[in-house]
Copies of this chain bind each other. A is one copy, B any other.
Amino acid sequence: MKGFGSDNHSGVHPELLKAIVSANTEHAPSYGTDEYSEKAIRLFKEKFGQQTEVFFVFNGTAANVLSLRFLTERHESILCSDVSHLNLDECGAPEFFAAKLITVKSTEGKMSLADLKASLKRKGDQHYTQSRVVSLTQPTELGTCYSLEEIRAICQWAHSEGMRVHLDGARLTNALIHLNCTFKEMTTDLGVDVVSFGGTKNGLMMGEAILVLSSDLIAEAKKKLKFIRKQAAQLPSKTRFIACQFERYLSSELYLQIAQHSCSMAQKLFEGVSAVPQVKVTATRQSNAVFATIPKPWVKHLKEKYFFYVWDESNFECRLMTSWDTQPSEIDGFVNLLKQFSETT
């Protein structure tokens, strides 16, 4: 049953599956020395800047926690939003692999610079972890996007305080659509230091990439990150099958087509849902998700036809997520159901 559960409920985009099938010829060296890795890395450098160092890993948790481990020492800490995936959905992986999280309050998933500043405390005090990284999610867990100006200001401040900026970009490409810019304009050019670049939620079978962007981190990344990755059990042996997907994803603007589709489906869904008086949209739509409160008695019936998650059980705020394979007919069907319920209650 399809629905709006998550962009990891959908399968592999046909073009990406084709890339996998094509890569399955003869032998290839393992552990990252194959030609597919080389090509994919070249494309990442094109998109994020030639200095970029790229490390493929299996999943998003790994991309996040290994990025953070690279940027922190055990006695340091990471500033992140109270609703971040890092804090709520990684089962303590950041604290296990990297360091303590210090949570900052958020509005529609975003931290303000003022709140970040207020959360940076007790520099030099040996009794307190020293904050060393700000971790942003783009788009956020609530489907909103930090503006380029916001990212720039956070990076400037963080750097002025001796901190680094990590960006959890499980769905990074979707933010390009809203901000109408390039990857480089959204990250490298603004001072973002390290990105967790998502693949799985954007049509890949599996695979994410850690991108080290800051020139002054490159030497250290080259020296350390391959060991960190291996020790963390994140070095794929048949790397070509992850790399070939990224190669295809970043070629011929496939990444933009997929993101464009997901986001326009979300916009259609947003419009349909907004038109139902009993349904209340709860977050600005700037990505491939719509958050809305739906009358409790409707939810069960809706779920019989379209799978989705109740985000907040207390008020039946639901998360409706589109994907590369969402069809307009599915949105029409869902919205029509809402309208029927609306009229009969």
A200's nearest neighbour on chain B, judged by CB, is B237
Please determine whether A227 and B75 come into contact, CB atoms closer than 8 angstroms.
yes
Q: Are B21 and A5 in contact (CB under 8 A)?
A: no
CB pair B231–A75 under 8 Å, yes or no, is: yes
Q: Is A228 part of the binding interface, using a Cβ–Cβ cutoff of 8 Å?
A: yes
Bound Cα distance A96, B129 (Å): 11
Q: A12-B24, A21-B17, A231-B74 are in contact. Are A91 and B238 (CB under 8 A)?
A: no
**CB-CB contacts below 8 Å: A97-112 with B:** 97, 99-100
In angstroms, Cα B17 to Cα A253, docked, is 26
Q: Does A3 contact B (CB under 8 A)?
A: yes
Tell me if A95 is interfacial: C-beta within 8 Å of chain B.
yes
Is A232 located at the chain interface by the 8 A CB criterion?
A: yes
Q: A11-B23, A126-B226, A231-B91 are in contact. Are A74 and B61 (CB under 8 A)?
A: no
Tell which of A25-33, A178-186, A285-293 binds the partner.
Answer: A25-33
Check A120 for interface membership: any CB of B closer than 8 A. no
Contacting pair A100 B92 (CB below 8 A): yes
Bound-state CA distance A157–B93 (Å) is: 28
Q: CA A113 – CA B244 in complex, angstroms?
A: 46
A11 touching B28 by the CB < 8 A rule? yes
Q: Are B89 and A128 in contact (CB under 8 A)?
A: yes
Copies in the complex: 4
Residues of B within 8 A of A232 (CB): 93, 96, 233
Q: Do A27 and B12 contact each other (CB < 8 Å), given the known contacts A73-B224, A93-B232?
A: no
Q: Using a Cβ–Cβ cut-off of 8 Å, how many residues does chain A contribute to the interface with B?
A: 73
Is A221 interfacial (CB-CB < 8 Å)?
Answer: no
Name A16's closest neighbour in chain B (CB-CB): B24
A330 CB → nearest B CB, Å: 10
Q: Is there contact, CB below 8 Å, between A62 and B95? A: no
Binary B-proximity of A222-241 (CB < 8 A = 1, otherwise 0): 00101111111111111011
Asked whether any CB of chain B lies closer than 8 Å to the CB of A177, the reply is no
| Residues on B with beta carbons closer than 8 Å to the beta carbon of A235 | 59, 61, 126
The contact of A126 among B6, B62, B230, B307, by CB within 8 Å, is B230
Contact with B along A75-95 (1 / 0, CB 8 A): 111000000000011111101
Does A205 sit at the interface, judged by CB under 8 A?
yes
Q: How far is the CA of A345 from the CA of B203 in the complex (A)?
A: 57
**Are A127 and B233 within 8 A (Cβ)?**
no
Q: Can you list 23 A-B pairs with a CB-CB distance of less than 8 A? A: A8-B238, A9-B28, A9-B30, A11-B238, A20-B20, A31-B126, A31-B127, A58-B236, A61-B230, A61-B233, A74-B228, A75-B96, A75-B230, A76-B92, A76-B227, A89-B127, A90-B231, A91-B231, A92-B231, A126-B235, A200-B237, A205-B241, A206-B238
Closest 10 A-B residue pairs measured CB to CB?
A75-B227, A62-B233, A61-B233, A92-B100, A9-B27, A8-B237, A91-B230, A58-B58, A11-B24, A92-B129
